[in-house]
Amino acid sequence: MYNKTFRGGVHPDDGKSFARDIPFQTWLPKGDMVFHLNQHIGKPAKPVVQKGDQVLAGQLIAEADGFVSANIVSSCSGKVKAIEKRKNVLGTSDMSIVIENDGQYTLAEGIGTEVDYTTLTGPEILDKVKAAGIVGLGGAGFPTHVKLAPKNPNDIRFVIANGAECEPYICCDDQLMRNYADEIVGGLKIMLTLFPNAEGVILIEENKPEAIAAMEKACSGESNIRVHRVVPKYPQGGERAIMDVVAGKHIKLGMLPADVGCVVDNVATVRAIYRAVCKSEPLMERGFTVSGDAVKNPCNLIVKIGTGLEEMLEAAGGFKDGVEPEKLLCGGPMMGFAMSDLDAVVNKNNNALTILAKDPVAQAEEQQTACIRCGRCAHVCPLGLTPQMMAAAAEKKDYDRYENKLYGLECIACGSCTFVCPAKRPLMQLFKQTKSEIMAAKRKK
């Protein structure tokens, strides 16, 4: 067994006490459903329905348009109301399929059919995963059928189910492991059939004892699947930290986990693989946490993809009485996206709505000073970068130094440097903007 922790990292208040012990409830949406065509890394999906078409839950409504792309299925039954641009959680707009939900959730033919995965070949398993439209449900949204087809499958040594869930406030993966451990292990067993030389690893932080117990019980009879407990520390859920802890490997910019013999998927993704292969169920719903000190009844939900965020707040009872929240986040406070309103929907890779009474970013801006050269940012960076020097290069627009001397593009935007900075400098925001400008210049060339 390799290290139980990784270099650097921070220990923010995890905020999980709000929702960690709240069991899942299923929320059936009431309003129109909106399906963005690019809710995954890669090329947007291509619509296969038209305005006025009747659709069923589980029916394909947009197909993958290229190798790195993903199918999209409807999570409700109803009529296609429009194919038009709709607002996303980033505040921009995407082409989307809007379905008028009839509230019946009538399933398409074949959904729920039981299949014995041991009777399937590797290509047949991959076809089922692709048809289901599964992507990384931990936030990245990378098409799973692509991740499960590396160049050299015999070189894969670890297939890792990521249950770290280190982002503050979010608890849906914890609940998923507590309640669906058998299905997560089932998904891991399916994945292992694709990699004959691999061991299955379920990575969980030690602050989730109920999840650890459930997962250890579920894999107790498996010879090549084990639970790997790790020290709670942010950002343990990042792929690079996982490689370090589980495999003792370091991946550099441009490398994938497969390059060091690993395949990593979020536990929700692993469960979705099981549901797709063994239950003929495409990706229609996901776990979702609504939490924060401004939420009346923090909760964990099983929510249909395409549901409006306003309904997610409704499911949690709305805002606390007398509270006017200052911060709306899609995701958590470390890596989530700030929103001006809730006029957006749950995509495949969205796992939480966090609502805070006070805006910590605004408070930090009021206290911001010049860099005091304390070096704390470098101490906590999980990649060993020098944020202080990166910030100086970024502010001067010295992109060559930023990229080639300081390796700034290696930054994973975890926000650890910003969190510990006593000068309250918005380092992560600066680095994200700088990376965006560098990549835009590369594309222009």
Residues making up the annotated binding site for [4Fe-4S] cluster are 371, 374, 377, 381, 411, 414, 417, 421
Residue ranges of alpha helices (H) inside 316-414 are: 360-367, 376-380, 387-395, 399-400
Is there a contact between 118 and 94 (Cβ–Cβ < 8 Å)?
A: no
Whole-angstrom Cα distance, residue 363 to residue 358?
Answer: 8
Residue ranges at the known binding site = 371, 374, 377, 381, 411, 414, 417, 421
The one-character DSSP state at 153 is G
Alpha carbon separation from 415 to 110, 376, 429 (Å, rounded)? 44, 13, 8
* Cross-strand partners of 161: 202, 265
Of 96, 99, 100, 98, nearest to 44 (Cα)?
A: 96
Of 285, 295, 233, 248, nearest to 26 (Cα)?
A: 285
For the chain, how far is it from start to end, CA to CA, in angstroms? 45
| H or E segment to which residue 338 belongs | strand 337-339
Q: Name the pairing type of β-strands 262-266 and 337-339.
A: unpaired
Is there a contact between 172 and 287 (Cβ–Cβ < 8 Å)?
A: yes
